[in-house]
Amino acid sequence: MPKRDSSDTPSYSGLLKAIRDGQVEQLQLFPREDEVQVHFKDGRQLRVPVFSNDQQILRTAEAAKVPLSVNNGQGDSAAAGLLVNALLGLLLIGLLVLLLRRSASVAQRALGFGRSQARLQPEGSISVRFDDVAGIDEAKAELQEVVTFLKEPERFTAVGAKIPRGVLLVGPPGTGKTLLARAIAGEAGVPFFTISASEFVELFVGVGASRVRDLFRQAKAKAPCIIFIDEIDAVGRQRGAGIGGGNDEREQTLNQLLTEMDGFEDNSGVILLAATNRADVLDSALLRPGRFDRQILVELPDRRGREAILGVHGRSRPLGDDISLALWARRTPGFSGADLANLINEAAILTARRNRSAIDEQAMNDALERVTMGLSAKPLQDSAKKRLIAYHEVGHALLTTLLPAADELDKVTLLPRAGGVGGFARTTPDEEILDSGLISKAYLQARLVVAMGGRAAEMVVFGPSEVTQGASSDLQMVTQIAREMVTRYGFSVLGPVALEQDGGEVFLGRDWTRSQQHYSARTAKVIDQEVQQMARAALDRAVAMLQPRRELIDALVESLIEQETLDGDSFRAQVARFEKRADSSSKELSAELNVEAAQVAVQTGILNRE
Ligand code: ADP
Ligand code: MG
Ligand code: ZN
């Protein structure tokens, strides 16, 4: 604000005179404050009060040709207001245009809406080969057959062989399912339709179904070819699941898919491949023979597998001489193929950033740090924890090997299962049981003991107070089996009565209706007692069987930690060697076994009591 010189403020009339006398250079009127700022020719500046709406000074200034400007004071805010208005207007127009555009594109899409969104990759355009997939040899071998069929269908049709129409790849994320599917298409050199199941499902009912129809129509026209539906659980979930009914649209889509799969004749040359990491939630109709009748497990790679995968991804990159892939495979337990690819890629990025010409140990180390930081499940490197899990799993594996009635061990591994922690011991179900659907009491009892094997091993090795909650799902299974034995199969003191209906297994994705109870409170109490008794007996028996074999367990754990995965045959061989040695060195063990047999007899006796 200009300085006011109050000492010689001219009066109003003085100001008029000064204007007429030509002493004033310029005037600036502030109507809101009823003041005028006077710039004299000699450089002085003054503010002089004037009347509101003063005409006199205007005329005087005009007559003397003194320039007069009006400073409204509101000027700034008025300008700002104008700007806001303009912006608002622009925004509105923008919105309008956006809306119009959108509706135009919807209209455009509506025409091709029912079209499948599948991307067709013509034959020969896929460069992925089986060589690029490593570490999952079993899955690869199974799929080799599919390739052979696509290449030389006559070989199969000549002998009347039917090829599976649907092959389902199941495994944890990043294990190479999508890659494997592309490799098949690449090897077979046929057109390859790929779509993610979530792309079937849109906002509008019926679109998914018509997309499925369209996809199969296109595929049949191009046969022989492969349709690959990725992440099929998005449409393939158990129907009727969830509270308040299922999703109609999804169900319609799934029904259409089922219909189409039934619809194409045998050997029509269209092979449907699908991938999921949640086979447990899939609708059972999808897994029926004639549809996805072949399931291929794609599992996390073991040490040798990881080395091979690192090899594949190291092929195209300059690896320093100091890098041992075997060593890096050892350092990355629990890594999926995608994690390994990521590791090497990170190392390459770091190498480029440091202006080195080859990936060295340092870059790999730093890359590992980065990669593991973003990993949800840390690889099992903490060896105390790893050891405990190894003992737990060996407990299961050893019991299933020792008990004649139990399933055969397929493999035991320390690699985490999808979504789970630690390792697992997997068995192959008895073929006879699978075929006949008949389950004996002895088999179920053996299963109880095997399920308790993990907890029992922890108790034997680490002591009763060091057991972990790692057995919680085992205990759930034991409880469920024991309960069914009591309430449904008549395998207990309660005698041959079915107290509960066949309610179907309760698990995620299935309907969640518990069967109704039709028994007295007293019976309920006995059921609970029986279940507890069975569980306890199973645990006791597991402990009794593991205790005398501590040496064997230690040896098995050592080889498991060393190799990460032991297959059933090598496991059995190791057990057999030990049992033979123990047998020849002393008769103690066989005495022990006799005690066990006696115990079983006693238990069976108790259970048979009516
Ligand atoms: P999934 O479909 O099982 O989730 P992807 O097939 O998409 O996994 O794997 C992602 C990437 O990880 C692949 O493109 C590949 O680079 C790498 N990868 C995964 N598994 C393997 C494997 N067994 N061999 C070689 N590379 C693999
Ligand atoms: Mg995938
Ligand atoms: Zn367990």
For 375-406, what is each residue's pLDDT tens digit?
Answer: 545 555 657 788 888 999 999 999 999 999 89
Q: What strands, in cross-sheet order, belong to the sheet with 24-30?
A: 45-49, 35-40, 24-30, 68-70
Given a cut of 50, whether residue 608 has pLDDT beyond it is no
Query: What are the two backbone dihedrals, phi and then psi, of residue 70, each rounded to the nearest 5 degrees?
Result: -110, 125
pLDDT category of residue 312 using cuts at 50, 70 and 90: very high
pLDDT category of residue 105 using cuts at 50, 70 and 90: low
- With the most atoms of ligand 1 within 8 angstroms of its CB, the residue from 143, 179, 310 to mutate is 179
Tokens of 607: 């259970």
Count CB-CB contacts under 10 A for residue 336.
25
For 486-519, what is each residue's pLDDT tens digit?
Answer: 888 888 888 887 777 655 444 444 444 454 567 8
Question: How would you classify the pairing of strands 166-170 and 294-297?
Answer: parallel
H helical segments located in 112-230: 137-151, 153-158, 177-188, 207-222
Given a cut of 50, whether residue 407 has pLDDT beyond it is yes
Catalogue the E-assigned strands of 421-553: 424-428
Residue whose structure tokens are 């494997």: 180
Share of the chain above pLDDT 70, in %: 80
Nearest to 177 by CA among 136, 211, 215: 136
Q: Which residue has the higher pLDDT, 556 or 142?
A: 556
> 271 with 150: CB under 8 angstroms?
yes
Q: How far apart are CA 42 and CA 54, in angstroms?
A: 25
Tokens of 531: 């279940």
CA of 230 relative to ligand 2 center, distance in Å: 6
For 223-248, what is each residue's pLDDT tens digit?
Answer: 788 889 888 888 877 766 554 445 67
Count CB-CB contacts under 10 A for residue 418.
15
CA of 382 relative to ligand 1 center, distance in Å: 26
Given a cut of 60, whether residue 6 has pLDDT beyond it is no
Of ligand 1's listed atoms, the one at least distance from the Cα of 133 is 24
> 610 with 526: CB under 8 angstroms?
no
CA distances from 507 to 169, 428, 478, 514 (A): 21, 21, 15, 11
For 544-565, what is each residue's pLDDT tens digit?
Answer: 999 999 999 999 999 998 888 8
Catalytically annotated residue among 346, 393, 530, 564: 393
Question: Which ligand gives the minimal distance to the CA of 397?
Answer: 3
Query: Is 187 noted as a catalytic residue in this protein?
Result: no
Q: Which residues pair with 282 in a beta bridge?
A: 237
Given a cut of 50, whether residue 145 has pLDDT beyond it is yes
Kind plus residue range of the DSSP H or E element containing 349: helix 337-353
Max mean pLDDT range (27-41, 224-238, 306-320, 490-504): 306-320
Tokens of 209: 């179904």
Please report the pLDDT score of residue 609 as a whole number. 35
Question: Which ligand gives the minimal distance to the CA of 194?
Answer: 2
The average confidence (pLDDT) of the chain is 79
CA of residue 149 relative to chain centroid, distance: 32
Count CB-CB contacts under 10 A for residue 246.
15
Please report the pLDDT score of residue 605 as a whole number. 40
Question: Which ligand gives the minimal distance to the CA of 230?
Answer: 2
Tokens of 490: 């008549």
Please report the pLDDT score of residue 554 as a whole number. 95
Q: How far apart are CA 461 and CA 554, in angstroms?
A: 9
Count CB-CB contacts under 10 A for residue 205.
13
Structural domains in the chain, CATH included, are: 12-74 (3.30.720.210), 119-297 (3.40.50.300), 303-373 (1.10.8.60), 384-503+515-575 (1.20.58.760)
Of ligand 1's listed atoms, the one at least distance from the Cα of 308 is 24
Please report the pLDDT score of residue 586 as a whole number. 57
Residue whose structure tokens are 């407990």: 395
Q: How far apart are CA 134 and CA 208, in angstroms?
A: 35
Q: Which residue has the higher pLDDT, 22 or 201?
A: 22
Of ligand 1's listed atoms, the one at least distance from the Cα of 305 is 23
Tokens of 271: 């092979």
CA of 433 relative to ligand 3 center, distance in Å: 23
Mean per-residue pLDDT for 281-307? Answer: 84
Nearest to 454 by CA among 495, 484, 485, 421: 421
CA of 608 relative to ligand 1 center, distance in Å: 53
Of ligand 1's listed atoms, the one at least distance from the Cα of 134 is 24
Pocket of ligand 1 (CB under 6 A): 133-136, 173-179, 275, 309, 312, 337-338, 341
Please, what sign has the CA dihedral across residues 331, 336, 339, 341? Answer: positive
Q: How far apart are CA 225 and CA 122, in angstroms?
A: 9
Residues 6+ apart with CB under 8 A from 464: none
Kind plus residue range of the DSSP H or E element containing 426: strand 424-428
CA of 340 relative to ligand 3 center, distance in Å: 28
Given a cut of 90, whether residue 310 has pLDDT beyond it is yes
Please report the pLDDT score of residue 606 as a whole number. 40
Q: Which amino acid is at 439?
A: I
Q: How far apart are CA 407 and CA 429, in angstroms?
A: 5
Q: Assign 130 to helix, strand or coil.
A: helix
Mean per-residue pLDDT for 167-174? Answer: 89
Point out the least confidently predicted range of 159-173, 416-430, 507-521, 547-561.
Answer: 507-521
Please report the pLDDT score of residue 244 as a whole number. 47
Question: With helix as H, strand as E and coil as C, how does 290-323 read?
Answer: CCCCEEEECCCCCHHHHHHHHHHHHHCCCECCCC
Please report the pLDDT score of residue 601 as a whole number. 46
**Widest pairwise Cα distance in the chain:** 138
Query: CA-CA-CA-CA torsion for 584, 590, 592, 593, nearest 10 degrees?
Result: 140
> 381 with 357: CB under 8 angstroms?
no
pLDDT category of residue 104 using cuts at 50, 70 and 90: low
Buried b vs exposed e over 1-29: b needs ≥16 C-beta within 10 Å?
eeeeeeeeeeeeeebbebbeeebbeebbb
